Structure 1
Amino acid sequence: MKRSSETIFAQATPAGRAAIAVIRISGPKAHQAPALFGAPCPAPGRFTVAKLQDRAGGLLDEALILSMAGPRSSTGEDVVEIHAHGSMAVTLSILDMLGQADGFRAATAGEFTHRMFANGKIDLLGTEALADLIESETDLQRQQAWRQLQGALYQPVSTWREEMVRLGGQLEALIDFADEDLPPEVEAKLRTDTAALITAMQGILDDGGVGEAIRDGVTISLLGPVNAGKSTLLNRLAGREAAIVSDQAGTTRDVVSVRINLDGIPVTLLDTAGVRQTDNRIEAEGVRRALHAARQADGAILVLDVSDPDWQAELAALRDLAGLRVCVVLNKRDLLDDATARQLSGEDAVLVSLVQDEAIDEVLAALGEMVVPANRGDGGSIITRARHRSALQEAVDALQAVLGHSFGTAPEIAAEDYRRAADSLGRITGSIDAEELLGSIFSSFCIGK
């Protein structure tokens, strides 16, 4: 365990007026902190209520003081927490007195968590999951972060890595007896075990990207011709008047952004200008921005006026612009006769009238299927970041390379690919090459975390 020579402190609760303010202190002098305020430090694992004195010896506050001794603490170091009243005057005085004391300094962003990592209290995946938990906006994000904190990805990745090391070790041991042929049953077992690893990891990779969608959210552009109902749809999905709706064509000029919660997944909707040829420079700029937004988005809702005789040609053109992930909404069903409506019901699209209440449920269902495909993998061990997916794919590629080698004539190359696969998984858990990632992760934490 690494013990820092510096004692750090920070307010762990949000700044500003509140019922309680928690000041967290960690390091070799943590247990000396209460004495700065004329208060006793309780025994490790205990707490006490004590009066805090200011520099002049006057009453500053009455606070609850908790004490923990390393390594049995959150950071692995000696830790003290002062739970004071959440007055800004009180908290600023406490922080100022700690900052003036010899051997104490204010913590940097995420420094408490950095010490947790350095002292083996949390791994790299856990650190990322803790950041995700703090940043979670939806219940699904919270649940996913907790699954990661409980080892949903760490446990299988660690098991796979141990197996790769074992298989590579077996092959390297056989290299020492290069003058002997590799027994067929040994090679067959190595290949079978390697193929099983590939299958297990591929099952996690084939999850439809649901973990990243939950964590990062998705961006969906609303694309279509003028007066098709894009702004009406945006307002219905947002549950408020976020965009101006008008019978006049070309009302929407700029991109209007609205964030919604779609069954636990944050979705940013972009209402864009109607796509058409125009001589109006301002509207033309709006169309350019609409197409740019569609190219940058994760998917698109194509909204068309089904009463327009040219809607099918417009749909074909929009599909070429929007990419692969699209949800088609054929609006203004109320303007069709029953026979035409029945005919269009067989289309791979949502046929609705957006002025009717029940229409939005159909659109939400179609949007949900586009955002999170039915193929969600095994639903257990989840990938939540691009780096997880990249490293896992590298491990799969390395193991597939192993199977392409002849163990009899090129065992050294196969053994090196086993090491390459194990190193890729080590980067996921942070057992190797972790430091370069820590700075960016910890910088997203608040000062007292």
Structure 2
Amino acid sequence: MTIFALSTGPGISGIAIIRVSGVETKKVIKLLTNGTIPEPRIATLKKINKINSSELIDEGIILWFPGPESYTGEDMAEIHVHGSKAVIDALHASISKIENCRMAEPGEFTRLAFQNGKINLLKAESIADLISAETEIQRQQAIKIMSGKSADKFNELRGKLLKILSNVEAKIDFPDEDLPDDILKEIKKNSNYVLQNIEKILDDQKVGERIREGFKITILGPTNAGKSSLLNCLSNREAAIVSEIAGTTRDVIETHLNIDGYPVIVSDTAGIRESKSEIEKKGIKLSLNRADEADLKLIVVDAKNLVISDVLKGLLDQNAILVINKLDLLEEDIDPEIKKLNHVLISIKENLNIDQLILKIKKNLKNKFIKNDNILITRERHRQHLKQCLNHLKSFNEKNEVDDFDKAAEDLRLATRNLGMIVGKVDVEEILDSIFNDFCIGK
């Protein structure tokens, strides 16, 4: 089946690109242009007509990519036309009339690229991440994964496991022959190397997932300190209701923001105070739960009433910034003990020192999470496969110590399979190739 779809964004634009992939691609081009197929990978201006008609749809560029040298690995074409809804609809309607042609499903072109061996699963995921990236740090992470750094590392570790597995399989196939000492030492060395590398990769504070999904920032503090105003200030919009009436915010209000290139999810919470209202108590409980889940806490207090409750003092740890609001109303210097805390003085009303607060937020996240560029895990799927691989590898090492090769081999197969599933590669033939290359079986 040949698929087609609009590959550029919907809506009016200067240019729209319709992508076609499959065995009927040549036929689609011929029928639309009433002419010959363009030279491969050369932009060619063509008149594009309705199927079985001389009625002109538009004049545009045709790019022809014969398989397998194409993005999907199949015959593929891109049709560049003017980006009006009428032109796109007319083109889609014409292509759909051609036998064995249908609209593509979401992600189907990239899925074909993966199935046809043009890209691995990590690169397919990074393409999706790049398309959805909203901040600079998200774009950078997607590009790094696309470059193949993660895939290279996982394939390297998998290659070492395949090497071990070929040795173990040989021992099972030839039980009367002892493995040489140097091979036994190599098995132990490689298994420990892979195990230690996976443990190091997993010990990453889930930075990759945080960058993809957004760092969690929770705004906390007493009532009327300016928490909702701070959310609105950071959002540059009225995301939360602001009122002089204490306890206006009862539920958690979330907004996704780009703070100086960092993706964050900022939560405005109910004011923390003693309350007899059951609804407000539930709101305060939600606030404290969000504080536990947060990557960074912004504890907002009023400069005129600078009393920090015991509950808030308990939240002022290394993952918190004390935000002293209403600086414009401050008549005397703040307490020296408070000055010792990680704090910033601001005035939301007068827009004072907001840039300093943003700088502190960014610095805190960078110091805590972005310590190096060696981020290999960007999805929970990767993490779960690595954890399973680690468990099977530990089990292999335990069984290998007592020379229980049959059971040890199964753990090793499962460990190898889980590593392979990260990049989308699971192929038992590789084990056989390794055996025949490294052992003279027929000797």
**What's the TM-score once normalised by structure 2's chain length?**
0.84
2:231 pairs with 1:234: yes
* 2:3 aligned with 1:8: yes
Distance 2:100 2:323 in 1: 68
- Summarize deviations over 1:212-254 as a string: whole Å, max 9, x none: 1111113322122212332243244334554454544223344
324, 330, 352: which one pairs with 1:331?
324
1:419 paired residue among 413, 416, 424: 413
* Secondary structure class of the residue paired with 2:246: coil
Aligned to 1:28, which of 23, 30, 54? Answer: 23
CA distance 1:93–1:305, change in 2 (3 Å) = same
Are the structure 2 counterparts of residues 262 and 114 from structure 1 closer, same or farther at C-alpha, using a change threshold of 3 Å? same
Moved more, 150-159 or 409-418: 409-418
Q: Which moved more, 1:408-417 or 1:371-380?
A: 371-380
CA drift at 1:344: 2.4
SS of the residue 1:269 aligns to: strand
User: Which residue, 256, 259, 264 being the options, matches 2:256?
Assistant: 259
The whole-number CA distance in structure 2 between the counterparts of 1:413 and 1:303 is 58
In the TM superposition, what are the counterparts of 1:68-79 in structure 2 within 5 Å? 68-79=65-76
Partners in 2 of 1:336 and 1:403 — Cα distance?
A: 68
Equivalent pair of 2:347/2:353 in contact (CA under 8 Å): yes
Q: CA deviation at 1:133?
A: 0.8
Q: Aligned partners of 1:65 and 1:375: how far apart in 2? A: 46
Q: Is the 8 A contact 1:223 1:272 kept in 2?
A: yes
Is 1:350 matched with 2:343? Answer: yes
Give how far 1:178 is off: 4.2
Rounded to whole Å, the distance in 2 between the matches of 1:39 and 1:427 is: 45
Query: What is residue 39 of structure 2 aligned with on the other side?
Result: 43
Letter in 2 for 1:327: A
Which stretches in structure 2 are left out of the alignment for 5+ residues?
428-443
2:376 to 379, 382, 385: 382
Q: What TM-score do the two structures reach when normalised by structure 1?
A: 0.83
Query: 2:218–2:269: 8 Å Cα contact kept in structure 1?
Result: yes
1:100 counterpart = 2:97: yes
Q: Tell me the equivalent position of 1:197.
A: 194
Identity across matched positions, percent: 37
* Higher relative contact order (Cα pairs below 8 Å, separated by 6+ residues): 1
Contact 1:306 1:330 (8 Å CA) reproduced: no
Amino acid at match of 2:380: A
> Partners of 2:2 and 2:169 in 1: how far apart?
47
Q: 2:64–2:76: 8 Å Cα contact kept in structure 1?
A: yes
Q: Distance in 1 between matches of 2:335 and 2:216?
A: 31
Residue in 2 that maps onto 1:163: 160
Change (3 A) 1:146 1:218: same
What is the one-letter code of the residue matched to 2:322?
A: V
Q: Answer whether contact 1:229 1:331 (CA < 8 A) is retained.
A: no
Q: Quick one: which of 423, 432, 440 aligns to 1:429?
A: 423
Corresponding residue pairs, total: 422
CA distance in 2, matches of 1:182, 1:53: 70
Query: What is the CA RMSD across the aligned residues, in angstroms?
Result: 3.1
Distance 2:13 2:307 in 1: 60
* Distance of aligned partners of 1:248 and 1:425 in 2 relative to their CA distance in 1, 3 Å threshold: same
CA gap of 1:378–1:223, structure 2 versus 1, over 3 A, is: closer
